[in-house]
């Protein structure tokens, strides 16, 4: 198994190009099931989760073509043809690898009236049930059973629009319901919907395919069902979590770099927290410039968008461990998202866990150590810590990183980091 070896202490300087958003592209790919036309996606990141989703769609008969890239750094174009779909089974062996696998359920039910979809995998950051997805689809008229680890769903007479009020915010349930409702009869109203920018990206793609959707980006979304959707061409939005990750890496190494293509307006809460901690964030014509003043401890609480993203909590902790003073990081979305804490402590961080809060007391410096990556964002937090630490850090189990970060080692090395991938 590959590892990442880092010799820390070099400030990151230069430019880092931000890729297309994983958590948008995966759902956009699932919309191909809703149309017989061709869906062309531009700016698709080169990630393991993208390949897994492509494999899942191909296993159901969807035509999947990656355009021959102009160079290994060029963004990918992906063409998906849902018209050739010949199976409504989403197999355990593929879906267990990632959370987004369950996002084929809504489109399959809406277009084909049935689905057999394995309960999904993804990062082991909590129990992550899918009850809100299932209850919402039932409210649109779907019959749903669980059988041997599979969701077995049917809507033989088609889905019917309804008002669905989510008891709490779920990104995935909102996305599944939006996709399902595009082809339902009548109007669907989603109340207490997720407001993440990826939801807006999904709605914009569906609108380009002929769907009637209003309110995406607010907590109430209305979808008026149509008889069919056409193909479309859509560009995947820039990855705000990749952006926040590199911003924190630059700050943690006290560097100075431009994140090319970043969309600062999708990162308001994270930018505010970084600014409060002493990170200087400038909006520049081609993205965001990150520099660092004196770092001071800052409290952060994760919340659904527009709050501070849970997907940046581990990276923020890696930044706060060498800030002056104390910070309290509180995780409200996932019950098991502090697995980076013991690993950061192995590098000399001073952290106390109290339930869903971590009290970080800043130390002058970290020291490199062998550490174990446990999930995607925890893994990259260890990379950030390694870049800032004195001496050598070896990050083990880096397959998690390949799910969400494209050419991480090369992007960081181009900014001066001493980092290499070591074949294991």
Ligand X SMILES: CC(=O)N[C@H]1[C@@H](OP(=O)(O)OP(=O)(O)OC[C@H]2O[C@@H](n3ccc(=O)[nH]c3=O)[C@H](O)[C@@H]2O)O[C@H](CO)[C@@H](O)[C@@H]1O
Ligand Y SMILES: C=C(OP(=O)(O)O)C(=O)O
* 254 annotated as a binding-site residue: no
The SS3 of residue 69 is coil
- Using CB under 6 A, which of the segments 169-177, 211-219, 315-323, 409-417 binds ligand X? 169-177
Q: How far is the CB of 125 from ligand Y (least distance, A)?
A: 6
R_g (Cα) of the chain, nearest Å? 21
Q: Given the complex with ligand X, which of 151 and 279 has the nearer CB atom?
A: 151
Q: Which of 420, 387, 264, 289 is nearest to 15 (CA)?
A: 289
The SS3 of residue 353 is strand
Binding of residue 281 to ligand X (CB under 6 A): no
* 128 annotated as a binding-site residue: yes
For 93, residues 6+ apart whose C-beta sits below 8 A from its C-beta are: none
29 to 88, contacts with ligand X by CB under 6 A? none
* 99 annotated as a binding-site residue: yes
Which one of ligand X, ligand Y, none is in contact with 404 (Cβ closer than 5 to 8 A by kind)?
ligand Y
For 44, how many CA atoms within 13 A lie in the half-sphere containing its CB?
29
266 to 325, contacts with ligand Y by CB under 6 A? 311
Query: How many other C-beta atoms can be found within 10 angstroms of the C-beta atom of residue 407?
Result: 17
Per-residue burial over 192-202, b = 16 or more CB atoms within 10 Å of its CB, e = otherwise: bbbbbbbbbbb
* 132 annotated as a binding-site residue: yes
Q: For the chain, give me the number of helices (H) and strands (E)?
A: 14, 24
Q: Given the complex with ligand Y, which of 98 and 142 has the nearer CB atom?
A: 98
β strands within 313-408, DSSP E: 326-330, 350-354, 357-361, 370-372, 392-396
Binding of residue 334 to ligand X (CB under 6 A): yes
373 to 392, contacts with ligand Y by CB under 6 A? 376-377
Q: How far is the CB of 204 from ligand X (least distance, A)?
A: 16
CA distances in angstroms from 157 to 35, 296, 385, listed in the order given: 18, 59, 54
* 38 annotated as a binding-site residue: no
Q: How far is the CB of 375 from ligand X (least distance, A)?
A: 10
Q: Given the complex with ligand X, which of 126 and 215 has the nearer CB atom?
A: 126
Binding of residue 28 to ligand Y (CB under 6 A): no
* Residues acting as catalytic residues: 123
Please, are residues 192 and 166 in contact by the beta-carbon 8 Å criterion? yes
Element (H, E) at 153: strand 150-154
* 333 annotated as a binding-site residue: yes
Q: Given the complex with ligand Y, which of 50 and 134 has the nearer CB atom?
A: 50
Q: Which of 87, 60, 61, 89 is nearest to 150 (CA)?
A: 89
* 130 annotated as a binding-site residue: yes
Residue selected from 333, 344, 383, 412 as contacting ligand X according to rule CB under 6 A: 333
Q: Given the complex with ligand Y, which of 196 and 409 has the nearer CB atom?
A: 196
From residue 101 to residue 130, the character string flagging contacts with ligand X as x (rule: CB under 6 A) and all else as - is -------------------------x-xxx
Q: Which residues of the chain form contacts with ligand X (CB under 6 A)? A: 23, 26, 99-100, 126, 128-133, 170-173, 310-311, 333-334
Q: Which residues of the chain form contacts with ligand Y (CB under 6 A)? A: 23, 98-100, 122-123, 125, 311, 376-377, 404
């Amino acid at each position: 198994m590959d590892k990442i070896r880092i010799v820390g202490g070099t400030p990151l300087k230069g430019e880092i190009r931000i890729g297309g958003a994983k958590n948008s592209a995966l759902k956009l790919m699932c919309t191909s099931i809703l149309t017989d036309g061709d869906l062309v996606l531009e700016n698709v990141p080169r990630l393991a989760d993208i390949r897994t989703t492509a494999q899942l769609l191909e296993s159901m008969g969807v035509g999947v073509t990656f355009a021959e890239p102009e160079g290994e750094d060029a963004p990918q174009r992906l063409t998906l043809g849902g018209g050739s779909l010949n199976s409504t089974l989403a197999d355990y062996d593929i879906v267990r690898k990632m959370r987004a696998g369950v996002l084929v359920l809504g489109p399959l039910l809406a277009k084909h009236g049935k689905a057999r979809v394995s309960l999904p995998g993804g990062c082991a950051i909590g129990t992550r049930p899918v009850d809100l997805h299932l209850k919402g689809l039932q409210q649109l008229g779907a019959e749903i059973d669980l059988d041997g680890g599979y969701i077995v769903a049917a809507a033989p007479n088609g889905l019917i629009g309804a008002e669905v009020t989510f008891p709490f915010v779920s990104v995935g349930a909102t996305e599944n319901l939006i996709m399902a409702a595009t082809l339902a009869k009548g109007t669907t109203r989603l109340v207490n919907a997720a407001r993440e920018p990826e939801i807006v990206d999904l709605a914009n793609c569906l609108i380009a395919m002929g769907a009637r959707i209003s309110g995406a980006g607010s907590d109430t979304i209305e979808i008026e069902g149509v008889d069919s959707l056409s193909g479309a061409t859509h560009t995947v939005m820039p990855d705000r979590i990749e952006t926040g990750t590199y911003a924190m890496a630059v700050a943690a190494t006290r560097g100075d770099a431009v994140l090319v293509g970043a969309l600062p307006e999708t990162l308001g809460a994270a930018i505010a927290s970084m600014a409060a901690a002493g990170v200087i964030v400038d909006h520049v014509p081609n993205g965001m410039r990150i520099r660092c003043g004196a770092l001071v401890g800052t409290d952060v609480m994760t919340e659904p968008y527009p709050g501070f993203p849970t997907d940046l909590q581990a990276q923020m902790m890696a930044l706060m461990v060498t800030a002056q003073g104390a910070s309290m990081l509180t995780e409200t979305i996932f019950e098991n998202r502090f697995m980076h804490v013991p690993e950061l402590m192995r590098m000399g961080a001073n952290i106390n866990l109290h339930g869903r809060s971590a009290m970080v007391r800043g130390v002058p410096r970290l020291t490199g150590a062998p550490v174990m990556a446990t999930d995607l964002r925890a893994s990259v937090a260890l990379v950030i810590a390694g870049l800032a630490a004195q001496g050598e850090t070896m990050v083990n189990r880096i397959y998690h990183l390949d799910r969400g970060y494209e050419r991480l080692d090369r992007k960081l090395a181009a900014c001066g980091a001493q980092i290499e991938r070591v074949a294991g």
